[in-house]
Amino acid sequence: MNESDAARRTLPLLDLTSLNDDDDSAAIDRLCGRAVGSLVRVAAVCVWPQFIAQCRETLAGSGVRIATVANFPAGALDPAGAVAEVQAAVTAGADEVDLVLPYAAWLDGQRAAAGELVAACKQASGPERILKVILESGRLRSADNIAGASRDAIAAGADFLKTSTGKTEVSATLSAAEIMLTAIKQSGLRVGFKAAGGLRTTMQAAAYLALAEQIMGPGWAAPHTFRFGASSLLDDLLADLGMARASGPGNKGY
C-alpha cells in the first residue's frame, strides 16, 4: 500500500481528537473546522464532555459524529460515577463514548467488578450509541493481560476496543493491536477496534490497516469497525494526498 492509498483509506477512519487540559471553545471551533475542511470528512471528533453541545451545533448536518470520554483518564472503579458521566454525555448529544476500563482494579484481581462497570455504562449509553472501551494496553503490559481484558470488555458489551488514553508513557502498539484484534476475531461478535496515542504518520496508520486486514480480512476496516484516535496524523494524511492543510493549528492527538 503506497502512502496516498493509505492516506485515502485512513482519513474516513479518523477520530479527530482534542483532549488537552487547556482546551477552550476557540480550540474546539478550530478542531471542528479541521473535521469538515476542504475535501476532508473524518469519522468523528472526540472532545471533553463540556464541548459536546458546541460540536453538535457546529457540525450539524456534516455527518461527523460526536465522541467524548468517560472515566477518563484514570479508569477509577467507580460505577456510579462512570454511569453518571455516560448518561450526561448521551443527554448532551454524544454519539459515542470512549470509556476507560478500570485497568488498575482489573490488574488487582477485581475483574468481575471492572466488567460490571463496563456493562452498566453500556446499558446507560443505550443501543444507539457506540461505547468504546479503553484498555490502556500500555499499563496492562503482558499479552495475557491484554487478551484477558479484551475478552472481558467484549463480554461486558463493548462496541469497540481501544488501545489507550494517550496519557501514559506507552500508548498504541502493533503488538497490542494484534492481541486485541485476535480477541475480536475469536469472539465472533461485531466489535470494532480503535488505535489511539502516538499515531502521527500515514505509514504508521498503514501498518495498523495491514494488520487488521491480515486478522479480520480484506475490507473489514471501515468507519463502523475501525478508528484511529489522533489529530496530528491529519496533517501527514493531507500532505500525502497533495491537499492543503485543513484550517486551524494542529492539536495534540490521542
Share of the chain above pLDDT 90, in %: 91
Q: Looking at the domain assignment, is residue 247 inside a domain?
A: no
pLDDT in tens, 24-40: 999 999 999 999 985 77
DSSP character at residue 53: H
The alpha helices in 63-195, defined as continuous H runs, are 79-92, 103-107, 111-125, 137-140, 143-155, 174-187
pTM beyond 0.85: yes
Q: Looking at the domain assignment, is residue 246 inside a domain?
A: no
Q: Quick check: 110 pLDDT over 50?
A: yes
Share of the chain above pLDDT 70, in %: 95
What is the residue range of 32's domain? Answer: 3-240
Q: Which of 15, 132, 152, 194 is catalytic?
A: 194
Q: Which of 152, 159, 162, 240 is catalytic?
A: 162
Q: Which residue has the higher pLDDT, 252 or 29?
A: 29
Catalytic: 98? yes
Q: Looking at the domain assignment, is residue 42 inside a domain?
A: yes
Cell numbers given for 240 = 500525502
Total domains in the chain come to 1
Q: Looking at the domain assignment, is residue 249 inside a domain?
A: no
Q: Which of 15, 98, 152, 159 is catalytic?
A: 98
CATH of the domain at 221: 3.20.20.70
Cell numbers given for 3 = 502512502
- What is the pLDDT, as a whole number, of residue 248? 43
Q: Looking at the domain assignment, is residue 234 inside a domain?
A: yes
Q: Looking at the domain assignment, is residue 248 inside a domain?
A: no
Please give the average per-residue pLDDT across 197-208, as a whole number. Answer: 96
Where does the pLDDT of residue 251 fall: very low under 50, low under 70, confident under 90, or very high at 90 and above? very low
pLDDT in tens, 159-170: 999 999 999 999
Beta-strand ranges (E) seen in 4-142 are 14-18, 44-47, 65-70, 96-100, 130-134
